[in-house]
Amino acid sequence: MKYKSIKGTKDILPDESHIWIEVENRIRKVMHTYNYKEIRTPIFEETKLFARGIGEFTDIVGKEMYTFTDRGGDSLTLKPEVTASVIRAYIQHNLGEKQPLTKVYYISPAFRQERPQAGRLRQFHQFGAEAIGSKNPAVDAEIISLAANIYESFGIRDFVIKINSVGCEICRNEYKNILKKFLIDISNKLSPESQKRIDVNPMRVLDSKDENDRIATKSAPLILNYLCNDCKTHFAQLQDLLSFMNVTFEVDGRIVRGLDYYTKTAFEIISTELGSQDALAGGGRYDLLVKELGGKDTPAVGFAAGLERLLMVLQKQNQDKFQAPRPKVFIAYADKSCEKIILNLAQKLRAKGVPCEIDLLNRSLKSQMREADRQNSDFVIVVGENEVKSNRLNIKNMKTGKVEEIDLGNLENYFLSSNG
RNA sequence: GUGUCCAUAGUUCAGUUGGUUAGAACGCCAGGUUGUGGCCCUGGAAGUCGAGGGUUCAAGUCCCUCUGGACACCCCA
C-alpha cells in the first residue's frame, strides 16, 4: 500500500456516508427551528485572524495549527475552529448593518495538529451556532437550549450541561489575582503541570484532571463569588431563563474555556457515555471578539460541537438506524440480448425519480439476483424473450417473494403509485 | 510533545522454544442442468506477514530504526 491518508484523518466511506448526511440534515433542521441560517466560510484564513481571535498564548495557536506559507509568501492557516472565520465574514460583509441580530450556524471541517486518540482527529468536523448583536442573556439561553435540543433530537439523554460565568475584563482580572495568591500558597501540593499554569492561566488549574490538584484546590476561591454586578445579574438571569425553558443544567464554577475570547457565560455539554474526550460541545459569550477583530463593539454568543463525538454517542447508544440509499428496482436480463431493453427501462424509471440498478458486469441471472438482494432493492424485474414477446413484465417483490404481472406500458405508474 | 500497547488475505483473528508450499471464519467470485435472491452444499481467487535494516544455515516469529493505529496525559470538539 503506497499512499495512505494523513495521520489523524479519516475517509468517510460509501458504507457510512449516508449516516453523516442524515446527521447533518437533522442538525440543520433543528438549527432552522431556531431560525439560524447556514454560513460557509473557507477552510483557510490568514494566520493572524486566528492568532488574534483565539489568543496568542492558547494551546491551539501556540502548537496545534496547520500553518503554511503560500507561493505569494502569505502565512495561511487551516481553520482550527470556526468562530473566528464567522466573525471575520460578519465584519467583512457588514452583516451587522443589515439587521441588528445575526443568527448563523455552520457545519465545517476543522484542523488541529494534536496526537489523535478516541474522539480526537487532526481533521475533524464541528457544527455550531453564533448569535451576534445582543447582550441579552436570553440569547445565551437560546444558544444553550439550541445545542441541547440537537442532542435531544437524536434521542440522546446521557449528557450534562455545565454552565459558569468567567466574568468580564474587569472582574476576571481581579479574581485572577486573588486566585493566584491562593495557588501560590498551596503550590507545593500541586502537580508540576499546574504549578506552571499558575502564572500563565491560573483558572485552568481549577479545571485540572489530576486528583491531587482537585483535592488541593477544593477550597479555592471561585470566580462566581467575585463577579461584578453586571456579570452577576447576567448569570442570574441566564439561570432563571434556562429554568423557565425547562433546560436542566449544573452550575460549575471550575469550567474554563480554552479560547481567550470568552466573557461572562461559559458552558460545556459533557457526555456521560464517552471516554476521556467527553466534551460534546462547548461555548459561551464573547463580547470582545468582534471589536478585537476590527469590527464595531458587538456582543455575541455561540457554541461549537464535535460531529465525530455526536456520532460516537449515537453509535454507543445504537439509537438510530440510518437508512442507506438503495435501488427500489433491480432490472435484470435473462440473456445479454436484452441489455438494451433494460437500459431503456431503467432510463424511464430514473427519469421519474425511481432509483434503479442494472447489471453492468455481464453476470448470470443468478448473480444478478444475488446482487439485487445484496443491494437491498425492493423489486426485481427480469427481462427476457418472453417479456419482449408479450409486452408484459413480472415484478417480484423481494420482501414477500410474490410476483405481479403488469403491462409494459404501466411500468412507471406501478412504481409511482402506492408501491413506489 | 510524553507514555503504554499494537501492526499477518477485503474484514476479524490463529500461527507453538525461530524450521518445508502462512491458516480459519466471514466477505468476494463461480457453480449446484430450463429464466429468479436469502438458507444450505461444492469449488475458486485473494497475503511483499506495515516499511527498511540487522542477527542466523534458516525470521511472520529475535534486535534496531521509521511509519501508521489504539488508549491515556497535555489540551480540546
Q: Give the separation between CA A79 and CA A85, rounded to whole angstroms.
A: 8
- pLDDT: is A164 or A260 the higher one? A164
**Interval A74-92 mean pLDDT:** 96
Q: Give the separation between CA A394 and CA A407, rounded to whole angstroms.
A: 9
Per-residue pLDDT band for A80 (boundaries 50, 70, 90) equals very high
Per residue in A274-333, pLDDT tens? 777 889 999 999 999 999 999 999 999 999 999 999 999 998 876 557 888 999 999 999
Instruction: Please name the nucleotide lying closest to A121, CA to C1'.
Output: B77
Give the pLDDT score at A408.
92
> CA–C1' span, A64 to B65, in Å?
27
Q: Which of residues 360-419 of A touch strand B (CB under 7 A)?
A: 361, 363-367, 369-374, 380, 382-387, 394, 396, 398-399, 401, 403
Instruction: Please name the nucleotide lying closest to A194, CA to C1'.
Output: B74
Weakest-pLDDT range from A254-258, A270-274, A396-400: A254-258
User: Could you check: is the Cβ of residue A276 within 7 Å of any atom of nucleic acid strand B?
Assistant: yes
Give the pLDDT score at A242.
97
Q: Give the separation between CA A259 and CA A407, rounded to whole angstroms.
A: 67
Instruction: Please name the nucleotide lying closest to A207, CA to C1'.
Output: B75
Q: For residue A149, is pLDDT > 80?
A: yes
CA nearest to A222, candidates A261, A201, A252 = A252
Weakest-pLDDT range from A17-26, A154-163, A186-195: A186-195
- pLDDT: is A146 or A198 the higher one? A146
Give the pLDDT score at A280.
95
Instruction: Please name the nucleotide lying closest to A386, CA to C1'.
Output: B35
**pTM: predicted TM-score of the whole model, two decimal places:** 0.92
Q: For residue A2, is pLDDT > 80?
A: no
Residues 6+ apart with CB under 8 A from A192: none
CA atoms within 13 A on the CB side of A324: 11
Q: What are φ and ψ of residue A194, in 5° steps?
A: -70, -35
% of chain A at pLDDT higher than 90: 71
* Whole-complex ipTM: 0.88
Q: What is the mean pLDDT of chain A?
A: 91
Give the pLDDT score at A146.
98
User: Could you check: is the Cβ of residue A359 within 7 Å of any atom of nucleic acid strand B?
Assistant: no
Q: For residue A411, is pLDDT > 80?
A: yes
Neighbours of A23 (CB within 10 A): 21
CA atoms within 13 A on the CB side of A218: 5
**Interval A121-142 mean pLDDT:** 97
**Interval A195-216 mean pLDDT:** 81
Q: 441489455: which residue's cell? A: A339
> CA–C1' span, A117 to B72, in Å?
9
User: Could you check: is the Cβ of residue A112 within 7 Å of any atom of nucleic acid strand B?
Assistant: yes
